[in-house]
Structure 1
């Protein structure tokens, strides 16, 4: 968790508490150490956030303090509502949970009228038809993309042939009916797509791929433009 997110969550925890919260209690919620909470509270107090209390006794947020409200136009509020509903089509449980956390953070600082619009907007999005990944975590794939880590895949193609692949993950691609990993495949020395519902095993390797990620994305896009969809693991 980023420190800025943790500071926000500390304020939110204190705002919603009915009495003093100890550093240990806050630390338990945020899955950090009490020492980290002590440092964060000291930083918030230094920034003039009116937190009162002491170690061992507990902390409270002085009444009347609030974060500045976020202001959204009607169209922007509609975009938030539709976007959150669209996320449920992706069959990505970690993103669903993250979306709920985002929405709760936004709702906490929205004016009441806009908060109602976001929470009860009359927009409905059909469910997607892609399969739920079985045995792999898409958050692990996203982290590997961010960190430029190679992945080792146990993969079954459309004819049930099993192969082991070492790939350089470039992007996750969410379609209505399928989710795929776009990657450079060391076995084929080419760009490939891998359906996440056909990935049987996945492990993150210590090795980072040597190519610059921007060059890989540019190469992938060039291959896509030249051939429509690159030869894939579909």
Structure 2
């Protein structure tokens, strides 16, 4: 987790807490070291976020400090609830956990009348849920798309042949049966789709294609267009 995201998460944890929260509790929640939490809290206090407390006794957020309010209509809240429920049907375990955290944060931030949309539990998304991605970590793929980092794949094609591919991932599409990585394949020199259930191994390379993502996505989108009759 990047530091900016971690600082935001710490504020959210303290804002929703009803009693002091220790650095150890925050560290366990965010899966970082206690020392990192001490540094983060010191950084937040330097930014004048009113966090009080100390080591051994826990931390609280002084009343009166809050992030900008979330202003949603009833229909917008219902759209959010249903969208979060649909994430349960993907094979992306990290996104499922993120959906639960989003629900908790929004429920704690919105006014009581809107909070009833969450508490009522009246909207559901039924249907087939995709299995876990198995050998591939979809969170790794999403980070590679964001950071424009190349990935090294062992990929099994439709005929059962396995090839080694260096790809430049630009998008991730979730289907009911699997997730598809859209990427520029350096072996084929073209945009290709890679089914997650055919990936036998996926590793980051440490090599980047900074600044190329938008151009490659445009190539991908242009490939959707079908020529007009007679064109």
Same fold, TM-score > 0.5, yes or no:
yes
Q: Is the 8 A contact 2:90 2:131 kept in 1?
A: no
The answer to whether the aligner puts 1:214 opposite 2:183 as a matched pair is: no
SS in 2 for 1:6: helix
Q: Is the 8 A contact 1:14 1:60 kept in 2?
A: yes
Q: CA deviation at 1:128?
A: 3.5
CA distance in 1, matches of 2:168, 2:204: 10
| Distance verdict in 2 for CA 1:40–1:195, change over 3 Å | same
The answer to whether the aligner puts 1:224 opposite 2:224 as a matched pair is: yes
CA distance in 2, matches of 1:211, 1:13: 35
Q: Is the 8 A contact 1:27 1:37 kept in 2?
A: no
Which position in structure 1 is the counterpart of 2:43? 40
TM-score by length of 1: 0.81
CA distance in 2, matches of 1:36, 1:12: 17
SS in 2 for 1:225: coil
CA distance in 2, matches of 1:75, 1:2: 33
Write the deviation string for residues 8-64 of structure 1: whole angstroms up to 9, x where unpaired.
4334444555654444554444324243134134236x24x3x43345554334457
Q: Any stretches of 5+ residues in structure 2 without a counterpart?
A: none
The answer to whether the aligner puts 1:95 opposite 2:95 as a matched pair is: yes
Q: CA deviation at 1:75?
A: 0.7
List aligned pairs for 1:149-188, cutoff 5 A.
Answer: 149-188=149-188
CA distance in 1, matches of 2:186, 2:174: 23
Q: Is the 8 A contact 2:87 2:95 kept in 1?
A: yes
SS in 1 for 2:173: strand
Root-mean-square deviation (Å): 2.7
TM-score by length of 2: 0.82
Q: Any stretches of 5+ residues in structure 1 without a counterpart?
A: 228-234
The answer to whether the aligner puts 1:198 opposite 2:210 as a matched pair is: no
Q: Is the 8 A contact 1:154 1:165 kept in 2?
A: yes
Which position in structure 1 is the counterpart of 2:135? 135
CA distance in 1, matches of 2:60, 2:120: 32
| Distance verdict in 2 for CA 1:53–1:209, change over 3 Å | closer
